[in-house]
Amino acid sequence: MSSGWRRRNNTAGSSGACAVVIGPEHATTIAARGWTRSDVRRYLWSHTTNTYDDISFGGRYGKIYNRNLPKWYRREPGARIPIVPSPDDIHLFIAGGEAGRFSAFLPGWGHMTSPVLRAIDGSAPAGGERCVDGTCEL
């Protein structure tokens, strides 16, 4: 999954949003340590960076990436650039079965589109997640 965060996707070089699908076994491990969805988002955001030099391909595409990335990113060869502008741009889902701890990263289309997230029926499943003030337990 970590290679998906690298520069070879639209999210890495054009900002935007992404999704992470966490398998049930990983979710159980994360929840056992008391982490919330917000904790996971913040961790992923701060630990999934590329260098500016990487995403601008050594300055080859610097002008394009300067336009697409948030203005507060440093445009220097060694500067670390988060994969998305904010932890809130990482959308977490728990899905799958118990089959060997599989999780997945799904890059978006960069700044060209915005995700629309909507509850299907507006209610949590029986025995499902508990949310308080927008922070949900895994």
Per-residue pLDDT of 33-80, as tens digits, reads 999 999 999 999 999 888 887 777 666 655 555 666 777 777 788 888
Reported pTM: 0.71
Q: What is the mean pLDDT of residues 84-90?
A: 90
Is it the case that residue 30 has pLDDT exceeding 80? yes
Highest mean pLDDT among 2-16, 31-45, 78-92: 31-45
Tell me the CA distances in angstroms from 75 to 4, 39, 53, 83, 87, one per residue in order: 22, 28, 8, 14, 20
